[in-house]
Each structure stands twice: as C-alpha cells, then as structure tokens.
Amino acid sequence: MQLTTDERASLKSRYQAAGIKLIVSAFGDSNVPTTTGADPTSTAQTMAAWVKQFDLDGIDVDYEVRSLCFNPCIVNLTSRYLGV
C-alpha cells in the first residue's frame, strides 16, 4: 500500500508533533553498492532525491561491512554528499 501525498503529510505532522524524525535506512549488512560498481555520486543523488520526494527528515547510511567502511566509494558518498 502506498500513501497519498496528503496521507504522508498528515502522518509526518503527527510524528513531528511528537518530536519524532522520519528517516530511511540504507544498505545494512551488505557490501552493496560497493561491490556492484555503483557510482557514489549517482547513488547519493538518487538517495537524496528519494528523501526529498517523500519529505523525510534524512537518511541513515547503515554500512556494516567493516572491511569496506573505508572504501573510497563509501568515504566519498558519506562525506561529500551526505554531510558526514
């Protein structure tokens, strides 16, 4: 089920009134997008556009694969485009 724009706005205002931020979590226990060769700039732009489209408060880049955490793709993604 997908919410309408009005339903999302109503739901978000109720969460905001309760002091709750709405964010999306991306990736988790996965080595994607690093191992798929995804372009970090394009990935960040796509994620930012999705957050804006659905009027969310932000995104949690949950990158749990420790061996890949300092991969240039992830460093570029988080520092340059997500403000970390």
Q: Tell me, what's the pLDDT at 64?
A: 67
What's the whole-model pTM score? Answer: 0.66
Q: Would you state the pLDDT for residue 42?
A: 85
Q: What are phi and psi of 20, to 5 degrees?
A: -105, 130
pLDDT score, position 9: 93
- Asked if 79 and 40 touch (Cβ cutoff 8 Å), the reply is no
Question: pLDDT, tens digit, for every residue of 48-71?
Answer: 898 999 899 988 877 666 665 556
**Which residue type is seen at 42?**
S
Q: How far apart are CA 81 and CA 84, in angstroms?
A: 8
